[in-house]
């Protein structure tokens, strides 16, 4: 599906907030705005993927990068010391924001390729990409971009979600928010034995898909298992599973619908009975501290369904901050 990377990288605008009307105009909490050619000396690059043409139910995730960037009551000054640790992750890590990928509305394959190119370039510059989605289709190019640099099969992926996203096809096509994890496994970018899924529940996928997941050795923690065993015990196993076999690190993908829709209503496919906001934030921070994070994304926030309180966008904003705080604690040895 992908045109050779070296042929394409000079043909496509790297990232932009000018070409599409729904692109973000502000940087994440006021961190320095950077250009793709001048990423600075820091460790982390934030980029938006305003993409929702892979959604099958509620659209609107194209507006999420802007909503996530702006969801805060504080000054947009690029300074956020963490109360529990006193660490300002922006200062410790050096975080910049390059705006949004120049996706093409309605053009699935070309947009997916552009996202993969941007993530690969960030990773090749020895930075950690954090991608603000966008529907869950984008995890396919996000993790693919990281794999182009760190190697296929060389890292684990921890996936927080109500849904497995391992469908065979979506309405006859390879790309969509119900298929990205299958595409990554089939391509070898992230083999099944390095896949961990946390929070699955509800009424999809069908049994034959669950059987395929087992055959690939994907480790899936459904909500009933989390309730029975306790979240801490599950996370212990998830961390161990991710480290097994000498993985270089981990890509973290957070679908906001892993959280109960009573706390995060602004999402494309709400599924009752999920994690609490507190559980997600604590878990994300712990994983980001315990493991070497090579990339992360936050997906499926749909601002049109969020209501006046914007609680889903605020939660997604804090998910990003907890990833950064965990990484900062790991870097400082705190």
Question: What are phi and psi for residue 196, nearest 5 degrees?
Answer: -125, 130
Secondary structure percentages of the chain, helix, strand, coil, to 5: 40, 15, 45
Q: What range does the domain containing 20 cover? A: 5-332
Listed in sequence order, the residues at least 6 apart from 78 whose beta carbon sits closer than 8 Å to its beta carbon are: 27, 29, 30, 31, 32, 90, 95
DSSP state of 267: B
Please provide the distance, in angstroms rounded to a whole number, between the alpha carbons at the two ends of the chain. 43
Res 21: pLDDT: 79
| DSSP helix/strand/coil, 239 | helix
Give the count of domains, the chain: 1
pTM of the model: 0.94
Q: What is the CATH number of the domain that holds 317?
A: 3.40.800.10
Cβ neighbours of residue 301 closer than 8 Å, sequence gap 6 or more: 61, 64, 67, 68, 133, 256, 266, 267, 312, 313, 316
Quickly list H helices, 138-206: 139-150, 180-187
| Low-confidence residues of the chain: pLDDT under 70 | 1-19, 169
The pLDDT of residue 334: 84
Q: 103 near 50, Cβ under 8 Å?
A: yes
> pLDDT by residue (tens digit) across 128-176?
999 999 999 999 999 999 999 999 999 999 999 999 999 876 777 777 8
């Amino acid at each position: 599906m992908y045109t050779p990377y070296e042929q394409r990288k000079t043909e496509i605008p790297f990232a932009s907030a000018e070409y599409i009307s729904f692109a973000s105009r502000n940087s994440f909490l006021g961190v320095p705005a950077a250009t793709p050619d001048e990423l600075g000396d820091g460790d982390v690059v934030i980029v938006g993927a305003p993409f929702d043409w892979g959604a099958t139910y509620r659209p609107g995730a194209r507006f999420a990068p802007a909503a996530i960037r702006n969801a805060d009551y504080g000054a947009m000054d690029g300074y956020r010391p963490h109360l529990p640790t006193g660490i300002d992750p922006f200062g410790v890590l050096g975080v910049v924001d390059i705006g949004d990928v120049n996706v093409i509305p309605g053009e699935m394959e070309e947009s997916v390729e552009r996202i993969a190119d941007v993530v690969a370039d960030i990773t090749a510059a020895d930075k950690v990409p954090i991608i603000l989605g966008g529907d869950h289709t984008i995890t396919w190019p996000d993790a693919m971009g990281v794999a182009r640099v760190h190697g296929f099969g060389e890292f684990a992926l921890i996936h927080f979600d109500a849904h497995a996203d391992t469908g065979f096809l979506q309405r006859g096509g390879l790309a969509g928010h119900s298929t990205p994890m299958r595409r990554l496994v089939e391509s070898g970018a992230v083999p099944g034995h390095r896949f961990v899924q946390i929070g699955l529940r509800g009424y999809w996928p069908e049994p034959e898909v669950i059987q395929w997941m087992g055959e690939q050795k994907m480790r899936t923690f459904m909500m009933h298992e989390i309730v029975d065993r306790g979240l801490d015990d599950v996370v212990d196993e998830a961390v161990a599973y991710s480290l097994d076999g000498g993985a270089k690190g981990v890509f973290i993908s957070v679908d906001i619908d892993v959280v109960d829709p009573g706390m995060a209503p602004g999402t494309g496919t709400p599924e009752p009975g999920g994690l609490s906001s507190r559980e997600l934030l604590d878990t994300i921070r712990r994983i980001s501290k315990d493991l070497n994070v090579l990339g992360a994304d936050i997906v499926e926030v749909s601002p049109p369904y969020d209501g006046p309180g914007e609680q889903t966008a605020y939660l997604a904003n804090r998910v990003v901050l907890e990833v950064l705080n965990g990484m900062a604690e790991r870097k400082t040895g705190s």
